[in-house]
Amino acid sequence: MLAPQDMAALGLTLRLAGVTVLVLLVLGTPLAWWLSQTQSRLKTVIEAVVALPLVLPPTVLGFYLLLALGPHGVIGGLSMALGGGSLAFTFTGLVIGSAFYSLPFVVQPLQGAFEAMGRRPLEVAATLGASPLDRFLTVAVPLARRGFLTAIVLGFAHTLGEFGVVLMLGGNIPGATQVISIAIYDHVEMLQYDQAHTLSALLLVLSFSILMAVYALNRRFSVVHP
Amino acid sequence: MPKLSSATLLLCVSMPALADEVRVAVAANFLDAITTLSEQFERQSGHTVLISSGSTGKLYAQIKNGAPFDVFLAADEARPALLEHEAAIVPGSRFTYALGTLVLWSPDRGLIDAEQSVLNNGDFRFLAIANPATAPYGRAAQEVLTGMGLWERFSKKMVRGENIGQTYQYVYSRNADLGFVAKSQVFSQGQFADGSWWEVPADRYAPIVQQAVQLRDTPAATALLDYLRSPAGLAVIQAYGYGTDAAQ
């Protein structure tokens, strides 16, 4: 059915999407929390930065990342100084790229959920003597679980379909940086339309199922907790 | 909806043909050269040249699917021959406009020496090549590395650009230490760019015979292809490091 190289591309894509979502949860949750609570003037600037990947062509992101991850770039130079290599053409580099690329898909649902919660539940928890971290973990996170679910699923699904960024900084190494969208692109280039169809259909079904699942779950939540 | 379609048809028929525009699909390696050629051609003829570059494989697929190009300058002879075979070109318009030269290049001055020790020692992190499946310069690079017995050994260290333009970008930005690029990308006005290089001997790979075909029979397209074959055009092509087919 699938050639070994296509299987590798599929596995790599799923791994990339998974790792990216984890990274974004760790970095995006505090950011979304801060955005939802702050009165700072910086808020609008940060919100605009978070939303940039929605409107910028992925190639722009990919181009800047290629320069930044290279040996003379900010991120690549730092990595070299720490004893690593430059990061373009590596899985780590793809994770960094994907994290930028899918940032709004994780941060925005979380920020929305935290804002929808209002201040009341946390104030009540504070009166009962809960510490800020305790308040966040036992009150805010459970209340925002729909936001978390949406963030995880959208971040994952969005990274699955990534193309422009990976094309710029991946280097198309089978098994290392060749993700499914690049494999499809190559098949089309080589006029191997059968393999392109197989992979495309797979991605389509996968993305559709993921989105279906999240909408179904969201509905269940809203029915159970009106 | 018959009214609408006949109106549309009328509009299409009555649109003046833009006889003074020529749309060129060009393989990435020849982009610099055709840009210079076009400037001179535009000055001389008054026509306008619109250039789209990409990998030969992709351009072929786009042309097959009705992309509106008048001229196709490919990086090989296979795809132009295929188009001719499919009767998608102006009959008799296929000819060799340039012979490509493969160069191993690095922006580092000291990296590539006459013995190619850097290749033989595998003393680098990434080597960039164009995708052999779609780009003729990539196929040539694969031939050279296979001939040196290094193809398998470097499989994890090779990064593949979507076309030769992206391959050059990988090396130029120093994300890859060195790469097999087209001579035209690192050679102009009879001078190599800064860095170090190895011009691969022609007997190490099958000739990169770059052919042109005319896809639409417009005066401007004919004029451009004639210009490519004129002494002035040939001089520019050679100045970019290409061989030209003396047999024409």
Residue A223: the pLDDT is: 57
Given a contact cutoff of 8 angstroms between Cβ atoms, the answer to whether A206 and A160 are in contact is yes
Q: What secondary structure does DSSP assign to B22-38, as a single string?
A: EEEEEEGGGHHHHHHHH
Query: Angle, to 10 degrees, between the axis of helix A180-189 and the axis of helix A193-224?
Result: 150
At B196-237, the pLDDT tens digits run: 999 999 999 999 999 999 999 999 999 999 999 999 999 999
Strands B127-130 and B158-161: parallel
Under 8 Å CB pairs connecting chains A and B tally to 60
User: What band does B5 get if pLDDT is binned at 50, 70 and 90?
Assistant: low
Superfamily of domain B6-99+207-247: Periplasmic binding protein-like II (3.40.190.10)
Assign domain A4-219 one CATH number from 1.10.1760.20, 1.20.1370.20, 3.30.56.10, 1.10.3720.10.
1.10.3720.10
Given a contact cutoff of 8 angstroms between Cβ atoms, the answer to whether B146 and B138 are in contact is no
> Any CB–CB contact under 8 A between A186 and chain B?
yes
- Residue range A25-42: mean pLDDT, rounded: 94
More confident residue, A157 or A129: A157
Residues making up chain B, counted from first to last: 248
> Any CB–CB contact under 8 A between B160 and chain A?
yes
Task: Measure CB to CB from residue A171 to each of B57, B58, B160 and give the nearest one.
Answer: B160
> Any CB–CB contact under 8 A between A92 and chain B?
no
At B104-115, the pLDDT tens digits run: 999 999 899 888
Cα–Cα separations (whole angstroms), residue B30 to A47, B26, B119, B160, B183: 43, 7, 26, 19, 10
The pLDDT of residue A54 is above 90: yes
Q: Do domains B6-99+207-247 and B102-199 have the same CATH topology?
A: yes
Q: What residues contact residue A63 under an 8 Å CB cut-off, 6+ apart?
A: A168
Q: Is CATH 3.40.50.740 the classification given to domain B102-199? A: no
User: What band does A135 get if pLDDT is binned at 50, 70 and 90?
Assistant: confident
User: What band does A66 get if pLDDT is binned at 50, 70 and 90?
Assistant: confident
Residue B149: the pLDDT is: 94
Residue B150: the pLDDT is: 95
- Strand blocks (E) in B40-184: 48-54, 71-73, 95-100, 102-106, 127-130, 158-161, 178-182
The domain locations on chain B are: 6-99+207-247, 102-199
| C-alpha–C-alpha distance, residues A214 and A180, integer Å | 22
The domain locations on chain A are: 4-219
Q: What whole-number percentage of chain A has pLDDT above 70?
A: 97
The pLDDT of residue B190 is above 80: no
Residue A158: the pLDDT is: 93
Burial status of residue B245 (CB atoms within 10 A of its CB: 0-12, 13-18, 19 or more): middle
At B81-137, the pLDDT tens digits run: 999 999 999 999 999 999 999 999 999 998 998 888 999 999 899 999 999 987 889
> Any CB–CB contact under 8 A between B170 and chain A?
yes
Query: Which of A74, A80, A87, A89 best probes binding to B when mutated, by most B CB atoms within 10 angstroms?
Result: A89
Torsions phi, psi for B100 (to 5 deg): -80, 150
Which residue, B68, B66, B69, B61, is CA-closest to B24?
B69
Whether A171 sits inside 8 A of B131 (CB atoms) is: no
- Residue range A165-172: mean pLDDT, rounded: 85
